[in-house]
Amino acid sequence: MKFMKLFSGIAFILPLALLAQTKAIVSIQNHSALNYKDAVVAIKWDAVLLQYPQIDTANFVVLNSVTKKQIPYQLEHKGHSAIQNVLVQTDVKAKSSLTLLIQKGKPEIFTAKTYARYVPERKDDFAWENDQIAFRAYGKALEKEKDNAYGFDVWVKRTNRMILNERYKRADYHTDHGDGLDYYHVGFTLGAGNMAPFVNDTIRYSGNYQQWKILDNGPLRTTFQLIYDSWNAGGIKISATKTISIDAGSQLNRIENTYTFNSDNTLPVVVGIIRRSEAGYISLNEQQGIMGYWEPTMNENGTTGVGSIMTTPITKMWVNNEQLLAKTTVKNNETFIYYTGAAWDKAGKITDAKKWLDYLNDFNQKLKNPLVVSIK
């Protein structure tokens, strides 16, 4: 009987101790040989609550445990009402660890480094950007126009400011006003890494996206969905939802494609990058699933690098007259994840083909060796 009373007393005290805890300690470990610079790291919100149940979502800070300086953060919802993650942006050197403190305090105002919006004034564009690069997808209103296009477009930039609204307001996309421009060509191709079914050795392009939904919109990660109406892809009725995320500091988007189709078989698909008629540098790494392209220099507009990284085995990579292609397969109603994006030499960060391929290779290695997060 005395033993039972003692056990009951311990069980009562532990929750009170947890409730009294005023901080959560986060450890981020980098087991790889690569430095993580300005990495956006997700910390599970449920794990934070377990250690710091009395946290006030409007009055907490994330501190570097050594410098005591605030770390930029974002509460990520992924389209849900409940918080899913705390996103932080920080550096973690190779083979090292970093400790962060989540505790009560007044957070600084963090500059937005990612942004997206629907652009009804420009024929239903959907555009998005971070502090490195910008992109857009074409909407249903453009399908009726002679300048319709299928793939993802790139807007190069050489500023870390958010510039989409300024460019749309100027309506002068093809001139560099000091922050970059739109000189990328898409046409009837997959552009900068869009995906489409590849049925009977033919790319089966969909119509442009018909619906959109923003799940999170900065300051460190923007995530949105583009929804496509069903279409006939070589005798297979297909519909698609594409969930696209862009992180601050990254040249690449994370894309989750979900295809729904009336077949029990897997569906062949391709990711494509349009190629210029002039000579450029092409790299197809089937083993690693990396497709890289350093375009020819376009006079005063400079040079754009485009690349895609697959996370599942590739069946084949090849180049035809129009684009670089990587083929794989997807299953009905199952998410397929890959990464695609671009860089511009005039931004001053990635200035030649070697640096672009190095970036893609390093990015791929980081996908295979992610940072390890633990909370106590």
Other CB atoms within 10 A of residue 248 CB: 25
Confidence of residue 13 (pLDDT cuts 50, 70, 90): very low
HSE-CB of 269 using CA atoms within 13 angstroms: 28
Give me the pLDDT at residue 14, please: 45
Give me the pLDDT at residue 146, please: 84
CA distance 300 to 28: 43
Above 70 in pLDDT, residue 52?
yes
Q: What is the CATH number of domain 114-368?
A: 2.70.98
As given in the structure block, the two tokens for residue 136 are 């857009």
Burial class from Cβ neighbours inside 10 Å (0-12, 13-18, 19+) for residue 21 reads middle
- Written in H, E and C, the secondary structure of the chain is CHHHHHHHHHHHHHHHHHHHCCEEEEEEEECCCCCEEEEEEEEEHHHHHHHCCCCCCCCEEEEECCCCCECCEEEECCCCCCCCEEEEEEEECCCEEEEEEEEECCCCCCCCCEEEEEEHHHCCEEEEEECCCEEEECEHHHHHCCCCCCCEEEEEECCCCCCHHHHHHHCCCCCCCCCEECCCCCCCCCEEEEEEEEECCEECCCCCECEEEEEEECCCEEEEEEEEEEEEECCEEEEEEEEEEEECCCCEEEEEEEEEECCCCCEEEEEEEECCCCCCEEEEECCCCEEEEECCCCHHHCCEEEEEEECCCCCEEEECCCEEEEEEEECCCCEEEEEEEEEEHHHCCCCCHHHHHHHHHHHHHHHHCCCEEEEC
Average confidence (pLDDT) over 265-279: 95
Please write the tens of the pLDDT for every residue from 306-358.
999 999 999 999 999 999 999 999 999 999 999 999 999 999 999 999 999 99
- Evaluate whether 179 touches 113 at the Cβ level (below 8 Å): no
Confidence of residue 15 (pLDDT cuts 50, 70, 90): low
Give me the pLDDT at residue 87, please: 98
**Domain-wise residue ranges, the chain:** 14-109, 114-368
Above 50 in pLDDT, residue 131?
yes
Q: Which CATH architecture has domain 14-109?
A: Sandwich (2.60)
Give me the pLDDT at residue 212, please: 98
Give me the pLDDT at residue 264, please: 77
